[in-house]
Amino acid sequence: MKTEHAYTDAAQRREEEVREHISWFREFLTFGTELPETIRRQYGLEEDYRRYMELAERDNRMFEEADGTEYRRHMEKIRKGEIPGPGKAYGKVVLAVEKAYERICPSPARDYLEEKYRELLFLRGMVYRKDYDDPLWYKPEILDKYGIDHRASRGTVLEQVEKAYRELDARFCRMTGKKPDADRLFGKSAAQKAVPAQREASESNAREVRMHKRGGRRPGF
């Protein structure tokens, strides 16, 4: 009986811990609330989080201490990709938190699912749009999160968009049960195309083995 009680207590503590972590992740994703260090360490977020804080503090110091011209020059270097900015580092943290949240949350919140769906629509739009800096729809936080360099060549951008879309589409399907549509948008990936060819070669080899066992001749000989 003691063993059963100990097991039950441990299970309850684990459930409570998971609920607490889900709550913290939601707070972070919704309001940007700082995550406790214990949670950051447990989910492997500490290094990326520290990097983001360093860059954010650097920019804050620059804003407070430098004159307007120097600060604008600093921000322009970030925009051009000449120096790292906190945006990409923060995007990396957000993506990691999202994946951790999805991993432990049995039923993600509706508003969260709607946000992921809007991100899918945004990425889909990048397949057809070429003016990535259009202020009407430009969303640097999404580009930063999924590692899309909108200043790169059109081909590179499309490769990055496809990678981001496929990964997000797979996550969204796991959460909602819907069928993936990345193949319809981009066509089958190279790995998927290779499977039928490998299967056909395997079946051809098997036929030859069977023919040799029966003493038959290969067609055409």
pLDDT in tens, the chain (221 residues): 555 555 677 889 999 999 999 999 999 999 999 999 999 999 999 999 999 999 999 999 989 988 889 999 999 998 888 899 999 999 999 999 999 999 999 999 999 999 999 999 999 999 988 777 676 678 899 999 999 998 889 999 999 999 999 999 999 999 999 999 999 999 876 454 444 444 544 554 555 545 445 554 444 43
Write the burial class of residue 97 (CB in 10 Å: 0-12 exposed, 13-18 middle, 19+ buried): buried
Q: Say whether pTM exceeds 0.85.
A: no
Give dist(CA 73, CA 70) in Å, integer.
Answer: 5
The alpha-helical segments, DSSP class H, found in the chain are: 2-31, 37-42, 46-65, 68-80, 86-104, 110-128, 140-145, 154-176, 182-186, 190-214
DSSP three-state, residue 186: helix
Give SS3 for 150. Answer: coil
